[in-house]
Amino acid sequence: MRVLIIKTSSMGDVLHSLPALTDAMQAIPGIRFDWVVEEGFAQIPSWHPAVDNVLPVAIRRWRKHWFGSQNREERVAFKRELQSREYDVVLDAQGLIKSAALVTRLAKGVKHGADSRSAREPFASWWYDRRHPIDKQQHAVQRTRELFAKSLGYALPETTGDYAIAQHFIHELPEDANRYLVFLHATTRDNKHWSESHWRELIGLIQPSGLRIKLPWGAEHEHQRAIRLAEGFDFVDVLPKLTLEQVARTLAGARAVVSVDTGLSHLTAALDRPNITLYGPTDPGLIGGYGKNQFALISPDKNMDSLSAEQVREALSKVMS
């Protein structure tokens, strides 16, 4: 059986789909997947052993200049590649109008997705040949696992989902694996940030452990924050700008990770690394870290700075012990 998955974004959503592939791979011998995903996350599906082809799409970028000649040529090339093969099942796990209208309807194969009461955008279900009711009051990983099971015709396993990507990195871990921590300090919304003073206090509390601390970053303002956090601490490394695969390899070798609510926190969970995620205004119940050794520290008043550096240090000590 060959299946096309449409799950384009965001990073957390893409990662949350991986355990469903593992379920299907174990339930249906020989099943293989192709995956349509936003270009910025195209490396992620390639790490899973059941994925053959990754079809990058650039809906986010195209929408900014929809009628530009280059974008138009890219859309034509994408459509040609998408329609170059027929699938037994086309599974829209995104549940949005943009994914259904721009991708799912063009693909060749029987189209499955959540029904109008279950999809993130009910109108998206109009483009599906088979519509499935999915319990929305469960973690995003479990919702996707249920959708795959119903679409592909197997019983949903009762076990915890397995991302099945940690083994992709196991033979190429950094030389200093297990001798450092990673602090994921960058996120998209201001009210999900933990203050720089708290981060620096935590760094000071970690110093007696003898572990190094690594600070990855993406945008330049995150780079500058990392430099400020590391100032005066010779055991803190501000990493160079890395590809997503390089970030994943760094996370895979970490003794433990401390993160704010960000996509890389979900990547840490997918890599089975011990992770403490700090939550303020967001509720981790349905979209928080899923998997082994994932711990949430939740602010009682939804203010990130109500979480103290000492609380985080204590939680980190328990995780590492």
One domain for residues 100 and 243? no
Domain co-membership, 38 together with 80:
yes
Q: Are residues 260 and 233 in the same domain?
A: yes
Find the CATH number of the domain harbouring 314. Answer: 3.40.50.2000
Residue where a domain terminates, one of 143, 164, 185: 164
In this structure, the answer to whether residues 42 and 12 fall within a common structural domain is yes
d(CA 255, CA 275): 9
For residues 77-100, average pLDDT: 96
Q: How confident is the model at residue 283 (pLDDT cuts 50, 70, 90)?
A: confident
Domain that holds residue 305: 167-320
Of the three residues 164, 181, 205, the one that is the final residue of a domain is 164
Q: Is the pTM of this model over 0.75?
A: yes
Give helix 18-27 / helix 140-152 axis angle, nearest 10°.
30
Three-state SS at 285: coil
Please tell me whether residues 115 and 211 are part of one structural domain: no
Beta bridge partners of 257: 182, 275
Query: Which residues have a Cβ under 8 Å from the Cβ of 39 and sit 6 or more positions away?
Result: 56, 57, 58, 61
Question: How confident is the model at residue 321, as a pLDDT?
Answer: 83
**Arithmetic mean of pLDDT, 102-130:** 96
Are both 100 and 225 inside the same structural domain? no
> 139 and 202 share a domain?
no
CA gap 8, 259 in Å, rounded: 24
Domain identity same for 128 and 243? no
Instruction: Give the Cα separation of 56 and 134 in Å (integer).
Output: 27
Could you list the beta-strand ranges (E) of the chain: 2-6, 32-38, 51-57, 86-92, 108-114, 130-132, 180-184, 212-215, 236-238, 256-260, 275-279, 294-298
* The pLDDT value given to residue 154: 98
Same domain assignment for residues 85 and 200: no
Q: Look at the chain and report how many structural domains it folds into.
A: 2
